Amino acid sequence: MNLAVDIGNSFAKLALLEEGQIVDTFRTALADEAFFASVLRDYPTVDRAILLSSRGDVPDVERWLAKQIPHFIRFDASVPVPIRNGYATPETLGPDRLAAAVGARSIYPDAPVFVVDFGTAITLDLVTADGEYLGGNISPGVAMRFHALHDHTRTLPLCELPQHTETIGRNTSAAIESGVVLGIVREVEGYIRELEERYSGLKIIFTGGDANYFAKRLKSAIFATCDLVVYGLNTILEYNAKLLQTR
Protein backbone atom coordinates (compact mmCIF):
# COMPACT_ATOMS: atom_id res chain seq x y z
CA MET A 1 0.00 0.00 0.00
CA ASN A 2 1.19 3.51 -0.83
CA LEU A 3 0.94 6.65 1.29
CA ALA A 4 0.85 10.06 -0.44
CA VAL A 5 1.24 13.17 1.72
CA ASP A 6 0.54 16.71 0.52
CA ILE A 7 1.40 19.31 3.16
CA GLY A 8 -0.11 22.57 1.94
CA ASN A 9 -0.11 26.09 3.31
CA SER A 10 -3.27 25.59 5.39
CA PHE A 11 -3.54 21.84 6.03
CA ALA A 12 -2.07 18.46 5.18
CA LYS A 13 -3.81 15.78 3.14
CA LEU A 14 -2.90 12.09 3.40
CA ALA A 15 -4.13 9.42 1.03
CA LEU A 16 -3.75 5.64 1.13
CA LEU A 17 -3.70 4.02 -2.31
CA GLU A 18 -3.74 0.48 -3.67
CA GLU A 19 -3.28 -0.27 -7.37
CA GLY A 20 -3.68 3.41 -8.18
CA GLN A 21 -6.99 3.81 -6.36
CA ILE A 22 -7.58 5.83 -3.19
CA VAL A 23 -8.58 3.63 -0.26
CA ASP A 24 -8.83 6.31 2.43
CA THR A 25 -7.98 9.97 3.00
CA PHE A 26 -7.19 12.12 6.02
CA ARG A 27 -6.98 15.89 6.43
CA THR A 28 -5.32 17.69 9.33
CA ALA A 29 -3.92 21.08 10.29
CA LEU A 30 -1.33 19.38 12.51
CA ALA A 31 0.75 16.88 10.54
CA ASP A 32 3.00 15.64 13.32
CA GLU A 33 4.51 12.25 14.19
CA ALA A 34 1.57 11.28 16.42
CA PHE A 35 -0.89 11.83 13.61
CA PHE A 36 1.13 9.77 11.13
CA ALA A 37 1.57 7.04 13.74
CA SER A 38 -2.20 6.78 14.18
CA VAL A 39 -2.67 6.43 10.40
CA LEU A 40 0.00 3.73 10.10
CA ARG A 41 -1.50 1.80 13.01
CA ASP A 42 -4.70 1.53 10.98
CA TYR A 43 -2.81 0.71 7.76
CA PRO A 44 0.25 -1.37 8.75
CA THR A 45 0.81 -2.64 5.18
CA VAL A 46 2.08 0.73 3.91
CA ASP A 47 5.50 0.05 2.42
CA ARG A 48 5.96 3.09 0.17
CA ALA A 49 5.43 6.77 0.91
CA ILE A 50 5.96 10.10 -0.78
CA LEU A 51 5.71 13.53 0.80
CA LEU A 52 5.66 17.04 -0.58
CA SER A 53 5.53 20.19 1.50
CA SER A 54 4.54 23.63 0.24
CA ARG A 55 5.42 25.02 3.70
CA GLY A 56 9.12 24.25 3.37
CA ASP A 57 11.13 21.64 5.21
CA VAL A 58 9.43 19.37 7.74
CA PRO A 59 12.54 17.44 8.87
CA ASP A 60 11.07 15.78 11.97
CA VAL A 61 8.19 14.23 10.03
CA GLU A 62 10.47 13.24 7.15
CA ARG A 63 12.96 11.49 9.42
CA TRP A 64 10.17 9.66 11.24
CA LEU A 65 8.51 8.46 8.01
CA ALA A 66 11.88 7.40 6.57
CA LYS A 67 12.43 5.17 9.63
CA GLN A 68 8.94 3.67 9.54
CA ILE A 69 8.46 3.03 5.82
CA PRO A 70 10.93 1.01 3.69
CA HIS A 71 10.66 3.18 0.55
CA PHE A 72 10.23 6.88 1.36
CA ILE A 73 10.60 9.84 -1.01
CA ARG A 74 10.66 13.52 -0.11
CA PHE A 75 9.43 15.00 -3.38
CA ASP A 76 11.44 17.96 -4.69
CA ALA A 77 13.11 19.09 -7.92
CA SER A 78 15.74 16.34 -7.70
CA VAL A 79 13.21 13.46 -7.88
CA PRO A 80 12.67 11.93 -11.36
CA VAL A 81 9.18 12.34 -12.82
CA PRO A 82 7.49 10.62 -15.78
CA ILE A 83 7.04 13.86 -17.75
CA ARG A 84 9.49 16.35 -19.20
CA ASN A 85 9.87 19.48 -17.12
CA GLY A 86 10.20 22.49 -19.41
CA TYR A 87 10.15 25.05 -16.59
CA ALA A 88 13.05 27.49 -16.97
CA THR A 89 13.85 27.37 -13.23
CA PRO A 90 12.81 23.89 -12.03
CA GLU A 91 14.39 24.46 -8.61
CA THR A 92 11.84 27.25 -7.94
CA LEU A 93 8.80 25.33 -9.14
CA GLY A 94 6.34 24.43 -6.39
CA PRO A 95 6.32 20.64 -6.01
CA ASP A 96 2.53 20.66 -5.77
CA ARG A 97 2.31 22.21 -9.24
CA LEU A 98 4.59 19.57 -10.75
CA ALA A 99 2.76 16.75 -8.96
CA ALA A 100 -0.56 18.09 -10.28
CA ALA A 101 0.90 18.15 -13.79
CA VAL A 102 1.95 14.51 -13.44
CA GLY A 103 -1.53 13.67 -12.15
CA ALA A 104 -3.10 15.44 -15.13
CA ARG A 105 -0.91 13.48 -17.52
CA SER A 106 -1.95 10.21 -15.88
CA ILE A 107 -5.63 11.07 -16.41
CA TYR A 108 -5.23 12.33 -20.00
CA PRO A 109 -2.07 10.62 -21.33
CA ASP A 110 -2.52 11.61 -24.98
CA ALA A 111 -3.99 15.13 -24.82
CA PRO A 112 -2.86 18.62 -23.83
CA VAL A 113 -4.13 19.42 -20.32
CA PHE A 114 -4.77 22.74 -18.61
CA VAL A 115 -4.80 22.45 -14.80
CA VAL A 116 -6.36 25.07 -12.53
CA ASP A 117 -5.73 24.57 -8.82
CA PHE A 118 -7.99 26.64 -6.56
CA GLY A 119 -5.93 26.72 -3.38
CA THR A 120 -4.48 29.48 -1.22
CA ALA A 121 -3.20 30.76 -4.55
CA ILE A 122 -4.76 29.92 -7.91
CA THR A 123 -2.21 28.15 -10.09
CA LEU A 124 -2.73 27.57 -13.79
CA ASP A 125 -0.48 25.04 -15.55
CA LEU A 126 -0.16 23.43 -18.96
CA VAL A 127 1.01 19.96 -20.03
CA THR A 128 1.37 19.28 -23.76
CA ALA A 129 0.04 16.23 -25.59
CA ASP A 130 3.56 14.79 -25.83
CA GLY A 131 4.06 15.02 -22.08
CA GLU A 132 5.99 18.25 -21.48
CA TYR A 133 5.16 20.52 -18.57
CA LEU A 134 5.47 24.04 -19.97
CA GLY A 135 4.77 26.08 -16.84
CA GLY A 136 1.91 28.36 -15.96
CA ASN A 137 0.79 31.32 -13.90
CA ILE A 138 -0.05 32.14 -10.29
CA SER A 139 -2.68 34.57 -9.01
CA PRO A 140 -4.30 35.28 -5.62
CA GLY A 141 -6.76 32.68 -4.37
CA VAL A 142 -10.33 33.31 -3.27
CA ALA A 143 -9.68 33.92 0.44
CA MET A 144 -6.64 36.04 -0.38
CA ARG A 145 -8.75 38.32 -2.58
CA PHE A 146 -11.46 38.71 0.04
CA HIS A 147 -8.89 39.44 2.74
CA ALA A 148 -7.03 41.93 0.55
CA LEU A 149 -10.20 44.00 0.07
CA HIS A 150 -11.04 43.85 3.78
CA ASP A 151 -7.54 44.28 5.22
CA HIS A 152 -6.45 47.15 2.99
CA THR A 153 -9.56 49.30 3.30
CA ARG A 154 -11.31 50.85 6.28
CA THR A 155 -14.92 50.04 5.48
CA LEU A 156 -15.21 46.97 3.24
CA PRO A 157 -16.50 43.84 5.02
CA LEU A 158 -14.79 40.46 4.94
CA CYS A 159 -16.86 38.22 2.65
CA GLU A 160 -16.92 34.54 1.73
CA LEU A 161 -17.91 32.55 -1.34
CA PRO A 162 -21.62 33.19 -2.03
CA GLN A 163 -24.20 30.71 -3.24
CA HIS A 164 -25.27 33.14 -5.97
CA THR A 165 -23.58 36.00 -7.79
CA GLU A 166 -24.94 39.00 -9.66
CA THR A 167 -23.47 40.65 -12.73
CA ILE A 168 -24.04 43.95 -10.98
CA GLY A 169 -23.93 43.89 -7.18
CA ARG A 170 -26.81 45.77 -5.54
CA ASN A 171 -25.08 46.22 -2.18
CA THR A 172 -21.49 46.29 -0.93
CA SER A 173 -21.28 42.65 0.12
CA ALA A 174 -22.78 41.49 -3.18
CA ALA A 175 -20.40 43.77 -5.07
CA ILE A 176 -17.40 42.20 -3.32
CA GLU A 177 -18.67 38.63 -3.63
CA SER A 178 -19.57 38.96 -7.30
CA GLY A 179 -16.45 40.96 -8.06
CA VAL A 180 -14.17 38.26 -6.68
CA VAL A 181 -16.06 35.24 -8.03
CA LEU A 182 -16.81 36.63 -11.49
CA GLY A 183 -13.31 38.09 -11.70
CA ILE A 184 -11.87 34.61 -11.22
CA VAL A 185 -14.38 33.08 -13.65
CA ARG A 186 -13.57 35.63 -16.37
CA GLU A 187 -9.85 35.19 -15.71
CA VAL A 188 -9.98 31.42 -16.15
CA GLU A 189 -12.36 31.64 -19.12
CA GLY A 190 -9.87 33.91 -20.86
CA TYR A 191 -7.06 31.41 -20.41
CA ILE A 192 -9.25 28.55 -21.64
CA ARG A 193 -10.31 30.43 -24.80
CA GLU A 194 -6.74 31.31 -25.71
CA LEU A 195 -5.31 27.85 -24.99
CA GLU A 196 -8.10 26.07 -26.89
CA GLU A 197 -7.11 28.09 -29.96
CA ARG A 198 -3.48 27.00 -29.56
CA TYR A 199 -3.92 23.36 -28.49
CA SER A 200 -6.41 21.13 -30.27
CA GLY A 201 -8.28 18.74 -28.01
CA LEU A 202 -7.36 20.62 -24.84
CA LYS A 203 -8.59 18.95 -21.64
CA ILE A 204 -9.33 20.99 -18.53
CA ILE A 205 -8.92 19.83 -14.93
CA PHE A 206 -9.94 21.83 -11.88
CA THR A 207 -8.53 20.82 -8.51
CA GLY A 208 -8.18 22.27 -5.04
CA GLY A 209 -10.75 23.05 -2.39
CA ASP A 210 -12.94 25.31 -4.56
CA ALA A 211 -12.72 23.23 -7.75
CA ASN A 212 -16.35 22.09 -7.79
CA TYR A 213 -17.62 25.57 -6.95
CA PHE A 214 -15.96 27.12 -9.99
CA ALA A 215 -16.51 24.13 -12.30
CA LYS A 216 -20.26 24.78 -11.98
CA ARG A 217 -19.77 28.38 -13.05
CA LEU A 218 -17.85 27.84 -16.27
CA LYS A 219 -19.38 26.66 -19.53
CA SER A 220 -16.43 24.54 -20.63
CA ALA A 221 -16.34 20.76 -20.16
CA ILE A 222 -14.27 20.40 -16.99
CA PHE A 223 -13.06 17.40 -15.00
CA ALA A 224 -12.97 18.37 -11.32
CA THR A 225 -11.13 16.43 -8.62
CA CYS A 226 -9.71 17.40 -5.25
CA ASP A 227 -7.21 14.53 -5.47
CA LEU A 228 -5.10 15.49 -8.49
CA VAL A 229 -1.90 16.15 -6.50
CA VAL A 230 -2.37 12.85 -4.65
CA TYR A 231 -2.71 10.92 -7.91
CA GLY A 232 0.36 12.69 -9.24
CA LEU A 233 2.37 11.83 -6.13
CA ASN A 234 1.33 8.19 -6.37
CA THR A 235 2.35 8.08 -10.05
CA ILE A 236 5.74 9.58 -9.14
CA LEU A 237 6.16 7.06 -6.31
CA GLU A 238 5.42 4.11 -8.61
CA TYR A 239 7.68 5.53 -11.33
CA ASN A 240 10.64 5.77 -8.94
CA ALA A 241 9.99 2.28 -7.58
CA LYS A 242 10.28 0.94 -11.12
CA LEU A 243 13.49 2.90 -11.66
CA LEU A 244 14.96 1.22 -8.58
CA GLN A 245 14.00 -2.21 -9.88
CA THR A 246 15.84 -1.62 -13.18
CA ARG A 247 19.10 -0.55 -11.54
Eight-class DSSP state of 201: T
Give pLDDT, residue 61. 87
Residue 25 CA to residue 83 CA, distance in Å, equals 26
Please indicate whether residue 96 is annotated as part of the active site.
Answer: yes
pTM here? Answer: 0.92
Asked whether the beta carbons of 113 and 199 are under 8 A apart, the reply is no
Q: What is the mean pLDDT of the chain?
A: 94
Residues of the chain with CATH 3.30.420.40: 1-74, 84-247
pLDDT in tens, 190-235: 999 999 999 999 999 999 989 999 999 998 889 999 999 999 999 9
CATH placement of domain 84-247: 3.30.420.40
CATH placement of domain 1-74: 3.30.420.40
Of 6, 96, 125, 210, which one is the catalytic site residue?
A: 96
